[in-house]
């Protein structure tokens, strides 16, 4: 995210390395833990079924949270329009010039 000529950050559309690593770690750990609970579960064992459901739920919630953190910059659609900052700058300058002429 290096500034361009006008000092505007340049966002790329990829997830960063630490976010991908955290997502992979959560998914793999959650999958292995859930698989372990499932394989060691006896039929009719409600406590084991609850552990399995909780493990899957925590894995999903953490994964969604990490994805939201990693894709947070994608949710600012106004930054996607090409030339938006130049239009805003021209609009502001036009108002500043007209204000100075009226004094």
pLDDT digits (tens, 9 = 90+) for 26-69: 999 999 999 999 998 888 889 889 999 999 999 999 999 999 88
Place of tokens 């991908």: 20
pLDDT digits (tens, 9 = 90+) for 67-96: 988 888 777 777 666 655 555 555 555 655
Q: How far apart are CA 33 and CA 24, in angstroms?
A: 14
Position 100 scores a pLDDT of 55
On whether the CB atoms of residues 29 and 60 are closer than 8 A, the answer is no
Predicted TM-score (pTM) of the model is: 0.61
């Amino acid at each position: 995210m290096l500034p361009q000529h006008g000092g505007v950050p340049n966002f790329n559309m990829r997830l960063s390395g630490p976010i991908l690593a955290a997502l992979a770690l959560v998914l793999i750990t959650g999958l292995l833990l859930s698989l372990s609970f499932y394989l060691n579960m006896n039929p009719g064992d409600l406590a084991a079924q609850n552990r399995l459901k909780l493990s899957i739920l925590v894995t999903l919630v953490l994964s969604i949270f990490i994805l939201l953190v990693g894709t947070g910059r994608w949710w600012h659609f106004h930054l996607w329009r090409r030339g938006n900052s130049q239009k805003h700058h021209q609009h502001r300058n036009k108002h500043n010039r007209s204000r100075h002429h009226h004094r």
